[in-house]
Structure 1
Amino acid sequence: MTKKTFLESDDQFIVSYELLHILQWLLTYEKEAFSQLVEQAYIKGSQSMQSNSEVYEQIEESEDLQNSVLDFFNFLEKEVSIVAHAESIKHIMQKNLLKTLDHIDPKVFDAAIIQESMQVTAEKINPQRNHQAKDYFLKQLLKKWHPKKEKNKKHSLN
């Protein structure tokens, strides 16, 4: 059984709107960094081609080279999917925890501790255990909380 290449198959390669948007964003806001990455890849790729000219000639005609564009876009699509999923989980967690945050006194817990506890909760709780987010968040908050002792405060036993 032979493996069909993109050029031989009837299938279409589809690039998601999200990936197109990310590529446009890169060209708009990270053009210099992206250019440096391309330059670095070109230099290193050229060096490896020169040192392996025989291998390069074999690859030049192979399916691997033809499919490298598809592999690249498939990789990007998978990465976009992973990031989108992680971000949606974080958004859901933060939305569900907003009610809990209304009951936390900002004078007792500083904003950094609250934010860090929310991030840990969003990373640790998966969507199937979303109902446990509040409890996990409160546990994380208490782990990080170090109350300040007031030296001038006198405790009376009256």
Structure 2
Amino acid sequence: MRSYGGANPSGKDDLFTVSEAIRMFAEGVGLAYTTVRSYRWVSSRWPKERRRADVSHTIHKVLASIPDEQERFEAVNNPPSNARGGPARWTHDSAKRVVGWKVDSSESVQEKVEAIHDLAADDAVAAVVTTDFLRRPAVASKAMADDYPDHGLVA
């Protein structure tokens, strides 16, 4: 690594860029360059004294995308309540919800609607699914009544 003092304090031409150093390190330890670069970015977002030993690297990685530093540090210290009871704790999905990412396991109506829209993005799939849904009498009745024009869900 470079000595302190600027781009080329020693006057030598054999210095590496950060990307080159990461690439060499990744090769040396047998990891993908993108993995080491990701580890470096997450670490840069979490000074050692702000990291939580009881929170996984993956949770730190998701929460690292919170732009405001103070908000990020407060978030990691305030895990959401555990839906099954017990102490509050972070899960991958709860961290993703905090930053507005798509979750792996939908819970709310909005998340389920978004998941269905993602799965039925292809018109052929949407047509088959819609036909199947409309064969359910209760669904067809509600759809025909259209009682939900202001449901607030993203279409």
TM-score by length of 2: 0.29
- Which structure has more relative contact order (CA 8 Å, sep 6+)? It is 1
TM-score by length of 1: 0.29
Tell which structure's C-alpha radius of gyration is larger. Answer: 1
